[in-house]
Amino acid sequence: MEQPNSKTGPTRTKAKGRTQLTGTYANMTGQSENHFAILIAEDNPVSRSLLEKSLRKAGHEVVSAQNGREALDVFRKTFFPMVLTDWMMPEMDGVGLCRAIRNHLCQGYVYIVFLTARDSRDDIIAALDAGADDYLTKPFHPAELMARLNTGKRILGLERSLKKANEDIRVLSITDSLTGAFNRSYMTTRLPEEVARAKRYGHPLSLIMCDIDHFKSINDSFGHLAGDSVLRSVVDCIKKTIRHEIDWVARYGGEEFLILLSETDSEGGLTVAERLRKSLAQMTYSIDGQDITITASLGVASFDPSIDKESSSEALIREADNFLYKAKEEGRNRVRGRGGSDEK
């Protein structure tokens, strides 16, 4: 505010029965579909309080700071898609804050509005050149401010929709459309990264290659739609067996799946594979009024940087494939790997 302010430090105001900390981030709960969290930089306590009340009445979450420096400290800790700033403030003015935000690596676009008594053409140009999106001169009517914010909300909403569309496209590009597992392209990229991470941090990992036994006979006897249903059920079973957002499964080809177990040694990999084998063998599929069961053969490869001198994604796949071939040679419906037993 273009008036001296004698107060310094964080202030507290009451909002809806709770204490609201202004000048420091507190109790933000995120963004709703139609409302965005707003950061206010305003050194005049009266103007700041009126602005907070108007914005909260409109349904926004608000955090306030008493100068640009304080606002920038808050912003660096927590992202705000909307910032309302005064121009003349102690320590850092609105132009400095605006430039600092534009130079900060943000997770999304920040819509910045100047609220100031400075109304010359040069002032408006200076604010816009610093990165402001809009400029509102004081005194202003609350309805005009809300109209300006609605413009910002439309822009931020478009950005949000674009991000969602891009994320949907990204997910589709790495997902097997039939089973919902990751696809081979994802596996080709992700597996070398997992091996590199295991080497860097000295953590073990295991790779399971799972193949459904006699799957061709299901397609031949009941049709490919029935086979597709079985494949989806197998992936669902795998996902329930492994750890969510830690381990992952990719369709390697046909009825073969690769399962990556992060920070899991050989013994742990064999344990998970055996648990999966038993779960699959216990499942019943109803096809055209006939109940059928399936079995699977599994090969387990492992890499432990504290034991193995070197490994690669290709070496792990080759090792898992060799153990899978061994499981099939020995009669199927079993797990093979380093130290594996004949136990079913």
Q: Domains of the chain: which residue ranges?
A: 11-172, 184-337
Residue 134 to residues 303, 326, 331, Cα–Cα distance (Å) = 56, 69, 73
Q: How confident is the model at residue 142 (pLDDT cuts 50, 70, 90)?
A: confident
Cis omega before residue 139 (within 30°)?
Answer: yes
Choice among 35-39, 60-64, 72-76, 290-294 with the minimum mean pLDDT: 35-39
Choice among 2-11, 50-59, 266-275 with the minimum mean pLDDT: 2-11
Tell me how far apart the alpha carbons of residues 131 and 7 are, in angstroms, rounded to a whole number: 28
Residue 320, pLDDT > 90, answer: yes
The whole-chain average pLDDT of the chain stands at: 88
- In the numeric block, the tokens 């790779």 are attached to 207
Dihedrals phi, psi of 311, to nearest 5 degrees: -160, 170
The reported pLDDT for the residue numbered 34 is: 61
Residue 285 to residues 218, 306, 332, 339, Cα–Cα distance (Å) = 11, 43, 20, 32
Residue 171, pLDDT > 80, answer: yes
Which strand (E) or helix (H) includes residue 96? helix 94-103
The reported pLDDT for the residue numbered 33 is: 55
- Rounded to an integer, the average pLDDT of 164-172 is 95
Residue 224, pLDDT > 90, answer: yes
Residue 344, pLDDT > 60, answer: no
The reported pLDDT for the residue numbered 4 is: 38
Residue positions annotated with a catalytic role: 255
- Rounded to an integer, the average pLDDT of 61-67 is 94
11-15 and 111-116 beta bridge pairing: unpaired
Q: How confident is the model at residue 330 (pLDDT cuts 50, 70, 90)?
A: very high
The reported pLDDT for the residue numbered 289 is: 82
Residue 316, pLDDT > 60, answer: yes
pLDDT digits (tens, 9 = 90+) for 225-278: 999 999 999 999 999 999 999 999 999 999 999 999 999 999 999 999 999 999
Q: pTM score > 0.85 for this model?
A: no
The reported pLDDT for the residue numbered 340 is: 60
Residue 195, pLDDT > 90, answer: yes
Is there a contact between 40 and 23 (Cβ–Cβ < 8 Å)? no
* Residues forming beta bridges with residue 11, ordered by sequence position: 22
- Rounded to an integer, the average pLDDT of 9-25 is 37
- Rounded to an integer, the average pLDDT of 272-292 is 92
Q: How confident is the model at residue 139 (pLDDT cuts 50, 70, 90)?
A: confident
The reported pLDDT for the residue numbered 200 is: 94
- Rounded to an integer, the average pLDDT of 309-330 is 95
Catalogue the long-range contacts made by 215-219 (C-beta closer than 8 Å, 24 or more residues apart).
Answer: 215/254, 215/255, 215/294, 218/292, 218/294
- Rounded to an integer, the average pLDDT of 44-63 is 91
Choice among 9-18, 29-38, 165-174 with the minimum mean pLDDT: 9-18
Fold classification of 11-172 (topology level): Rossmann fold (3.40.50)
Tell me how far apart the alpha carbons of residues 59 and 66 are, in angstroms, rounded to a whole number: 22
Choice among 54-63, 196-205, 275-284, 332-341 with the minimum mean pLDDT: 332-341
Fold classification of 184-337 (topology level): Alpha-Beta Plaits (3.30.70)
